[in-house]
Amino acid sequence: MKRFAIFLFSLFASLPAMAGEAQVAVAANFMAPMNKIAAEFERETGHKLSLSFGTVGKFYAQIHNGAPFEVLVSADQDTPLKLTSDGMALGESRYTYAIGKLALWSAKEGFVDAKGDVLRQGNFQHLALANPKLAVYGAAGMEVMKRLKALPQLEPKFVQAENITQAHMFVSSGTAELGFVAYSQVLGKDGAEFASGSGWIVPQELYPLIRQDVIVLAKGKGNPAALALANYLKTPKAKAIIRSYGYDLP
């Protein structure tokens, strides 16, 4: 009996080190780097991740309605703070993993100039924008247009997308001639600013700093996979991937 008790103790003591699985809600702008980070994380830790991508506004509502998410990789800082205040997240686990950048982009070469003057000129029919009530990058785009005093003439041209992924799709498909997207979606390689088309990396002074925070949710408390992922985004390998997709580090 004593040996059996010792065995049980050692078994339960080792549980946190065992491979597990975590349900992760990820902001749509971070899809590409998160897929790459997840592959490295799973290879190095043995844990598995189930990733869902969308807007932080929808995730907030889903978490309140009982969605099984255990980690939120957010596009903002406000949503993790609100979830902490609501008692639905572990506040001590929250930190900023990336600083997002906004871009105005067109799939057409030479369409968007290097200063974004195309917005004031308005020589286009459609402008793609993620829903500013739900998507952080959509709200940032709205702020840019307000500060440029161009919102009244541009608002009738909006093609509203559910999230930043759909906004990018509207522009790349030609549904809209240009649109506000996350710079990580259109980043070029080998020193090129943009992978294709034309764009303007919006100066930081034209919109609020996009601090993207990660937080372990209440359902992830005690899940070694969830806790490990939150810590993994701080590692040199994860930071290198984040930077390679055009994000700044805090």
pLDDT value, residue 12: 36
CA-to-CA dists, residue 218 to 52, 78, 82, 89, angstroms: 17, 17, 13, 5
pLDDT value, residue 191: 80
Q: Decide: 194 and 187 in contact? Cβ < 8 Å.
A: yes
User: How many separate domains does the chain show?
Assistant: 2
Residues 40 and 93 occupy one common structural domain: yes
pLDDT digits (tens, 9 = 90+) for 200-236: 999 999 999 999 999 999 999 999 999 999 999 999 9
Residue 249 resides in a domain: no
* Structural domain span for residue 147: 102-201
Other beta carbons within 10 Å of 49:
23
**What type of residue sits at position 176?**
A
Q: Is pLDDT of 2 > 60?
A: no
**19 — pLDDT class (breaks 50, 70, 90):** confident
Residues 39 and 127 occupy one common structural domain: no
Residue 250 resides in a domain: no
pLDDT digits (tens, 9 = 90+) for 140-159: 999 999 999 999 999 999 99
pTM, rounded to two decimals: 0.87
Residues 94 and 108 occupy one common structural domain: no
Residues 88 and 107 occupy one common structural domain: no
* Tally of CA atoms within 13 A in the half-sphere of 171 that contains its CB: 31
Residue 226 resides in a domain: yes
Residue 153 resides in a domain: yes
Strand duo 95-100 + 210-216: pairing: antiparallel
Average pLDDT, the chain: 93
Residues 17 and 88 occupy one common structural domain: yes
CATH number of the domain that residue 62 is part of: 3.40.190.10
Residue 85 resides in a domain: yes
